[in-house]
Amino acid sequence: MSRRIIIDLACLATFALMPLLAALLDEPFLVSLFTRLAIYGMAAASLDLLIGYGALVSFGHAAFFGLGGYVVGIIAFHSSQMLPLWGWEGSNSALVVWPLALLCCALLGLVMGYLSLRTSGVQFIMITLAFSQMLYFILGSLSLYGGDDGILMNERNSLPGLDLNNANQFYYLCVALLVAWLLFCRRLVGSRFGFVLRGLKQSERRTISLGLKPLRYRLTTFVIAGLGAGLAGVLWANYALFVSPDMGAWQKSGELMAMVILGGVGTLLGPVLGAAVYLGLEQLLSLWTEHWLLIFGPLLLLVVLFGRQGVYGLLMARRKPRKPASKPAPVATAQEVHP
Amino acid sequence: MLLLEQLLNGLQYSALLFLLASGLTLIFGIMGVINLAHGAFYMVGAFSAAYTAVATGSFWLGGLAALAGSAFYGLVIETGIIRRLYNRDHLDQVLATLAVVFFTNELITLLFGRSPPAMPTPDWYNAFVEVLPGLMYPVSRLLFIAVGLLVALGMWLLINHTRLGMLIRAGADDHEMVGALGVNISRLYTLVFVFGCVLCGLAGFMAAPLLSVEIGMGEKVLITTFVVIVVGGVGSVRGALVGALLIGMVDSLGRAYVPPLLDQLLPAEVSGTLSAGLLSASAYIVMALVLLVRPRGLLPARA
């Protein structure tokens, strides 16, 4: 068995057995922690699709997380308050609400991606950041939906055959969706589409000269990654029964980036491990002091400066160090012009 | 009369944005570092100013402390951390400077608490002058505008008419060549970085009596500063000036004219929410419009 399969199976087994372990240790809190982990892992893995495979360092990924959550929250608000939304009385069915939330995220991804992808490098970082801030402020100004305070929800969405209000059932749903999402992403990056994407990362010029249109591939990736984060947001709204503009704030985007780096860029499973490290450290350090960021900041700094491959890289060991994600090497471009 | 007052308010906000954006874009243009911690120096400046002014009772000592505090912290951060990021990709720079933000916010909270005491100001500072017959305007805001103009003028002189400015321009174009010509690149970088931090400290000092001084104040304005830089053109100080003026004016004129306009056009409950959202997102809307026409900003550093 290759090391990668062993890591995959170990992660899967940990996720699968966690409720059992929690019951044995009589720590129901563990299930809750791992639900959060699965949700953030999904958002981080979808960001890795952009950063690790598309070399698109998006600093606005939390916008999708926030929007996905808000669609769930807003519909729940209308259905519980009996206030029709444009004549529709709302619904509590996940089969209606969740696809609607994903649709909104896809639309946001199209607009935000199309405008942001007109630029690259540092401008792309700043523009994605600015778009997510735009959404953040708009969410915060919705006084009907609590403004900065957000929306409290009464219950989770209903899904036929499952009781989402049961912690274990909800947990397994999140894990199942995470696994499905990771498998889908792996297929995607291993497909012809994924090769074009990685080709664009290595050399845009070469890919264009093969007759491919970069914008289509990048925009599609941007939308798909947005859908992943949007689904994570939907699950978060259901998990926390609370949405607020902070879900889409720039700090959240920074957290997601930190998870990707901590876990290992361009590995998909790595960011899930990164999410585990991030949430675990947050949990541990904040038990110790409320100023946990005072310790976490320097730790993150050390990992960025010296730990080049993240947790996944360490587990895989002896992998090649990862290449710079966003700066195309000038030497390579010169070679392309004069082969 | 209202228009003129709003224009002055816009100039004041533009001056704040310019102080932050010019330093940030200089640092980015020369060293290629995307520095999220830039707002932290603004916060350090504001906290230093407020605490020193309260402790000594002197407004000007507060200002001195703001400049010294942000310069010192900038020196520490540059030599300790930023220096290692010059040759890294943007992702690493974003995360490392984000970590500095986390750390600085908590450090200031531990040292000074969440918000500092109100900064004492001299009487002349709180006075009003009649800028036009019938229009009284606070001295404090006029001072802010004046400082912004002076810094803009000073930057222009510095960059176009001094040896340091020549090195800065050359360093932005090709820092390896500048290094090969025998210039101590490492020292130049440190100098430019600390210079950017001093501008932040100045902004913090100016803002401390006027705006709310609190943890996270740097990040709030930093994001707008990024918008200014993107609108103006990354790496260009002239662009930072144009961007700051544009964003500052749109913000202030929007605040004055958008809500009444919407109130007339739409029912009250809709217009209130809509104008609040539009106003807080106005800078980002301007940015999206500019980028649709000119993806590299209004005055990019290099064509």
The pLDDT tens digits along chain A (339 residues) read 688 888 888 888 888 888 888 888 888 888 899 999 999 999 999 999 999 998 899 999 999 999 999 999 999 888 887 777 777 777 788 888 999 999 999 999 999 999 889 888 878 888 898 889 889 988 988 878 888 888 988 888 888 888 888 888 999 999 999 999 999 999 999 999 999 888 888 888 888 888 888 899 999 999 999 999 999 999 999 999 999 999 999 889 999 999 998 888 888 999 999 999 999 998 888 888 888 888 888 988 888 888 777 788 778 775 455 555 554 444 333 333 333
Q: Residue A304 and residue B277: Cβ atoms within 8 Å?
A: no
Chain A residues with beta carbon closer than 8 angstroms to that of B99: 296-298, 300-301, 304
**CATH number of the domain where residue B146 is located:** 1.10.3470
The answer to whether B296 faces chain A, any CB pair under 8 Å, is: yes
3-state helix/strand/coil string of A76-107: HHHHHHCCCECCECCCCEHHHHHHHHHHHHHH
| H-assigned helices in chain B | 2-31, 38-56, 59-80, 90-112, 123-126, 139-161, 163-173, 175-180, 185-207, 217-232, 237-265, 268-280, 282-293
- pLDDT tens, position by position, A284-296: 888 888 888 888 8
* Domain contains B301: no
How many angstroms separate the first and last alpha carbons of chain A? 41
Of A126, A134, A325, the CB nearest to B226: A126
The number of folded domains in chain B is: 1
The answer to whether B271 faces chain A, any CB pair under 8 Å, is: no
Chain B residues with beta carbon closer than 8 angstroms to that of A326: 89-91
Is the predicted pLDDT of residue B180 greater than 70, yes or no? Answer: yes
* Domain contains B298: no
Distance from C-alpha of B279 to C-alpha of B287, rounded to nearest angstrom: 13
Query: What's the whole-number mean pLDDT along residues B138-167?
Result: 90
Report residue B254 as tokens: 């929007």
Report pTM. 0.85
* Domain contains A305: no
C-beta separation of B115 from B217 below 8 A: no
Is the predicted pLDDT of residue B283 greater than 50, yes or no? Answer: yes
Structural domain range at position A102: 29-249
Of A133, A144, A327, the CB nearest to B89: A327
Distance from C-alpha of A40 to C-alpha of A156, rounded to nearest angstrom: 18
* Domain contains A105: yes
Q: Residue A305 and residue B96: Cβ atoms within 8 Å?
A: yes
Query: What's the whole-number mean pLDDT along residues B168-197?
Result: 85
Q: Residue A129 and residue B100: Cβ atoms within 8 Å?
A: no
Report residue A58 as tokens: 């998006």
- pLDDT tens, position by position, A25-44: 888 888 899 999 999 999 99
* Domain contains B73: yes
The ipTM (two decimal places) reads 0.81
| Residue B295 C-alpha, separation from nearest chain A C-alpha, in angstroms | 6
* Domain contains A22: no
* Domain contains A333: no
* Domain contains B116: yes
Chain B residues with beta carbon closer than 8 angstroms to that of A59: 94
* Domain contains B218: yes
Helix, strand or coil, per DSSP, at residue B36: coil
The number of folded domains in chain A is: 1
C-beta separation of A97 from A72 below 8 A: yes
* Domain contains A86: yes
* Domain contains A41: yes
| Residue A108 C-alpha, separation from nearest chain B C-alpha, in angstroms | 14
| Residue B125 C-alpha, separation from nearest chain A C-alpha, in angstroms | 33
Distance from C-alpha of A142 to C-alpha of B28, rounded to nearest angstrom: 35
* Domain contains B119: yes
Determine how many CB atoms are found less than 10 A away from the CB of residue B302: 11
Of B34, B91, B281, the CB nearest to A137: B281
Is the predicted pLDDT of residue B255 greater than 80, yes or no? Answer: yes
Q: Residue B110 and residue A291: Cβ atoms within 8 Å?
A: yes
Is the predicted pLDDT of residue B260 greater than 90, yes or no? Answer: no
The number of CA neighbours under 13 Å toward the Cβ of A140 is 17
pLDDT at A336: 34
